[in-house]
A and B are shown apart, each in its own frame.
Chain A
């Protein structure tokens, strides 16, 4: 059940994209933070209304009630002073106090904001009217000297006075009660605002927490991982800011893309060049193949001719040069055709040592004619590997003859047989051909295995290219070294799957 809930929770969360989640949380925060000020505005407006009602109207009404009561008390006092002293000045003050009462009564009328208060004010006005008439009658009786009647009336007026005061007290009580209710309402609304504020703070904190969670978990952490790599390794050392690191990484990526683009363009150019070369090679191979047959005919005729001709020395020299040059053309054509249409490998178990021995036997007379001595450096015969002995022999012949041709004045060749382990290839077999010739200038070292590259006037430029192809067809590789002034060294290296456990000798 829990798992199902979690799964459904994950599904529902995944329905919202990162952008939607961030916008939703930001919108929630904005909403909550806008609600706060709106409630405060509402609260301030409400407080102002309450203040206006209480201070301007209710308090004014209460004050007016006080003033009315004071005016009544004053009138009672002035009348009593007049009864005791018979001084007409108290009557003037009484009249003034009456005007004051009427003014407050009128002001109270204009500022009334409750029907109950209006009824009370009208009752006060009516009672005051009756009280004033009765009081005037008592004063008239005192002025007429009818003392006993005046006293009787005076007691009756006292009841009116008490009634009037009671009305004023009721008016005051009404406004006091009203102010108390207003105060209560104010307190209730203050409590409401505080409650809303507390809820707002909680919602704000919750939304802020989720926003922080989304920002950290789904934006900042991925940015950090992007900046520092999955294994926490610094990609851009010295940069503490992930954004800067990402910028650096992005710039590196741009450089890589540019480089890759450049490499791709170069590869495409190379491919186009290779395709052109392949096409030219096919055409040239066709031409060479066509040439070979008439060339053979010429060679045969020349062979036939030489048997019956009696030539003087210069004619003999001419004839030999012609035969030699035709032989040269034949070699070029043969090499070219072999390079263009390499024969299929016929692999069989063979030791490179046996290939070396056969090659040297084959080349014995050529080596003598070149005045070159060959030494084989072998601790024990190389183990057997699966290879085409004829092809390997041809490769070795090419290397040895190449060395011989380099040593115009004669010299020596060392053929060194080696075994070893070379990572990541594992066990290897190597045959090194080292001569004592003039060596190869460093700028030419990179080009000597290219087809048709030759430094010899009569070379086809395919000998070393054929050796390279033969070695590579056997899964190996060939290298050339030429320490300055110490001849040249060509090494054919072949991976060896057989015997394990031996090391470079």
Chain B
């Protein structure tokens, strides 16, 4: 029996990056939901499709990443969250898995994969 494909929520304020990540993670076999704002993230998570992991742009707006992450931690304590963040940007909970935002998205993919496999995104 095939394992159900994991569902990811890609929350990214830049539409082009969002679409790129959707495509790349889709190619990897993930089911991908996208969100362009904090409100959309909450809507996706509250929706009928169960999300297995969230890739969250630390600079997402409305509500911003800084206030969104504590909310997510409280509402969805078991949800793995990968914070996609520029170096030096201080946002989110230190306990969240952080991946540096850059041109190479393979690290992000690897981190998400490990997180879903082991529950720990550390390389």
Contacts and interface: CB of A to CB of B under 8 A. Distances in A.
A304 B23 CA distance: 11
Closest 9 CB pairs of A and B: A299-B103, A297-B16, A303-B103, A297-B17, A293-B14, A343-B88, A300-B20, A297-B14, A300-B103
Majority-rule SS of A interface residues: helix
Interface residues of A, number: 20
B52 interface: no
Q: Indicate the member of A294, A296, A343 with the most B CB atoms within 10 Å.
A: A296
B105 A301 contact: no
A300 B57 CA distance: 15
Interface residues of B, number: 16
Given A303-B104, A343-B90, A344-B90, A296 B17 contact: yes
A337 interface: yes
Contacts of B16: 294, 297, 301
Given A304-B20, A327-B103, A338-B88, 12 more contacts: A292-B86, A293-B59, A296-B17, A296-B102, A300-B17, A300-B103, A300-B105, A301-B16, A301-B20, A302-B103, A334-B86, A337-B88
9 contacts: A292-B86, A293-B14, A293-B59, A294-B14, A296-B17, A296-B101, A297-B16, A326-B103, A337-B88
B20 A299 contact: no
Given A293-B14, A293-B17, A304-B24, A299 B88 contact: no
B48 interface: no
Interface string B63-97: 00000000000000000000000111010000000
Interface of B: 13-14, 16-17, 20, 24, 59, 86-88, 90, 101-105
Majority-rule SS of B interface residues: loop
Nearest to B108: A300
A293 B102 CA distance: 10
Contacts of B17: 293, 296-297, 300
Contacts of A302: 103
A294 B13 CA distance: 11
Contacts of B14: 293-294, 296-297
Contacts of A292: 86
A299 B102 contact: yes
Q: Indicate the member of A300, A302, A327, A338 with the most B CB atoms within 10 Å.
A: A300
A296 B103 CA distance: 6
A303 B105 CA distance: 8
Interface string A23-60: 00000000000000000000000000000000000000
Contacts of B20: 297, 300-301, 304
B68 to A, nearest CB: 17
A55 B7 CA distance: 150
A334 B87 contact: yes
Contacts of A294: 14, 16
Contacts of A296: 14, 17, 86, 101-103
A292 B17 CA distance: 12
Nearest to A342: B88
Nearest to A299: B103
A334 B88 CA distance: 9
Contacts of A337: 88
B121 to A, nearest CB: 19
Nearest to B86: A292
A211 B87 CA distance: 82
Nearest to A298: B103
Contacts of B103: 296, 299-300, 302-303, 326-327, 330
B13 A293 contact: yes
A337 B59 CA distance: 15
A464 B59 CA distance: 28
A194 B37 CA distance: 115
Nearest to B17: A297
Nearest to A304: B20
Nearest to A301: B20
Interface string A295-317: 01101111110000000000000
Contacts of B24: 304
